[in-house]
Amino acid sequence: MSPRLRYAGRRLLLAVPIVLGMAVFNFLLLHLAPGDAASVLAGEAGGVTPELMSQLRADFGLDRSLPMQLLIYLQHVVSLDLGFSFRHRTSVLSLILTRLPATLLLMGAALALSVLGGVLLGVLAARRVNTWMDNVISVFALLSYATPIFWIGLMFIVLFSIHLGWLPTHGMAVAGAGTTGWAHALDVARHLILPAMTLALFYVALYTRLMRASMLEVYTLDYVQSARAKGLPEGRIAFKHVLRNALLPVVTMVGLQVGHMLGGSVLVETVFGWPGLGRLAFESVFARDLNLLLGLLLFSSVLVVIANLVTDLVYSVLDPRIAVS
């Protein structure tokens, strides 16, 4: 077995107690909030008798002590049984797996746009430092970083959907269109453009500033000065000698920002009606659907752990000096 596979295996084993610890923390945190599923159902029914309220609490397991509820929840988590969503009338696991592809598609597109755009703009700014191009890119990054995500999404809707009529504003595909194959893929792609651009713009600004600063720092190192002394072209120095090392902080930041991107997807999916986990989490909070919310938080924790593992492996590929053994 290769050293990287052994390293990945060890990290996955270490991730198990981390995920369980997050499950315990999320469970206790949500149970500190007032109200529960039984109270929500009783309020929607317009008032219930004490006997019916007791029956509802027994059906949801709320009549047991908090430590016993936690123990039962952890037993279910280990067996991949995340419970039942009373709001959607289906199992939490099946509901999450149904919505997960939409969120992964949105996050993958936004991540690709943000990394590619941020690296490209950062390289251009670093190679044209203190010129008009550097100033324009810096102003763009500052404005993108400071503007709220939901406002950007609304402005994109006003510009590209209402005024220009180029792109749809809601959902993942045209409802009832019944398209398949390439027609369906193109329909989804058209619906994906605005949400992905909205979610990516903040991170484009972040990675642009980070890449620019990293490139300028690497340019001052001795081996770059030696390459210049040998008469190598500036383009070759930038892309062969500087870019690879300058990417390391960006890769680290990408791994750290996955959880933040999941949080941002809640706003983006709500603004654009994107049927992913973020919108589902938003709905579950108002419905007090704790089983569903706990399942979503658990899946988010798993995604963040996996993203950090992938980041470490990519980091070791970019910098062979890092031992993965």
Last residue of a domain, one of 63, 92, 121: 92
Are residue 236 and residue 259 in the same domain, yes or no? yes
State the pLDDT at residue 296: 85
Are residue 255 and residue 280 in the same domain, yes or no? yes
Q: Give the alpha-carbon dihedral of 37, 41, 43, 46, to 10 degrees.
A: -170
Overall number of domains in the chain: 2
Instruction: Locate 137 and state its tokens.
Output: 């890119």
Are residue 193 and residue 298 in the same domain, yes or no? yes
Q: Is residue 325 part of a domain?
A: no
State the pLDDT at residue 57: 65
Q: Are the beta carbons of 296 and 280 closer than 8 angstroms?
A: yes
Are residue 87 and residue 107 in the same domain, yes or no? no
Q: Is residue 323 part of a domain?
A: no
Domain boundaries, position 45? 3-92
Are residue 138 and residue 251 in the same domain, yes or no? yes
State the pLDDT at residue 214: 87
Using DSSP, state whether 147 is helix, strand or coil.
coil
φ/ψ of residue 245, rounded to 5: -70, -35
Are residue 123 and residue 240 in the same domain, yes or no? yes
Instruction: Find all residues with CB under 8 Å of 4, minimum gap 6, and list them.
Output: 313, 316, 324
DSSP state of 241: I
Are residue 116 and residue 229 in the same domain, yes or no? yes
Instruction: Locate 189 and state its tokens.
Output: 């792609």
Q: Are the beta carbons of 324 and 57 closer than 8 angstroms?
A: no
Instruction: Locate 216 and state its tokens.
Output: 């300028």
Rounded Cα distance between 261 and 277, Å, is: 12
pTM of the model: 0.77
Last residue of a domain, one of 92, 109, 142: 92
- Per-residue pLDDT in tens (0 to 9) along the chain, 325 residues: 566 677 777 777 887 888 888 888 877 777 776 666 566 555 555 556 666 666 666 666 666 677 777 787 788 788 877 777 777 778 888 888 888 888 888 888 988 898 899 989 988 888 888 888 889 988 988 888 888 888 888 888 888 888 888 888 887 777 666 667 788 788 888 888 888 898 888 889 889 988 888 888 887 777 777 877 777 777 777 777 777 778 878 887 887 777 777 777 778 888 888 888 888 887 777 777 777 888 888 888 888 888 777 777 777 676 666 655 5
State the pLDDT at residue 62: 65
State the pLDDT at residue 81: 77
Rounded Cα distance between 159 and 271, Å, is: 15
Rounded Cα distance between 195 and 114, Å, is: 13
Rounded Cα distance between 296 and 292, Å, is: 6
Strand partners, 84: 91
Are residue 71 and residue 171 in the same domain, yes or no? no
Instruction: Locate 93 and state its tokens.
Output: 């696991």
State the pLDDT at residue 293: 82
Buried b vs exposed e over 72-95: b needs ≥16 C-beta within 10 Å? ebeeebeeeebbbbbbbeebbbeb
Are residue 158 and residue 189 in the same domain, yes or no? yes
Distances (CA, A) of 35 to 139, 179, 273, 280, 302: 46, 43, 27, 19, 27
Are residue 64 and residue 181 in the same domain, yes or no? no
Last residue of a domain, one of 71, 92, 113: 92
Buried b vs exposed e over 26-50: b needs ≥16 C-beta within 10 Å? bbeeeeeeeebbbebbbeeeeebee
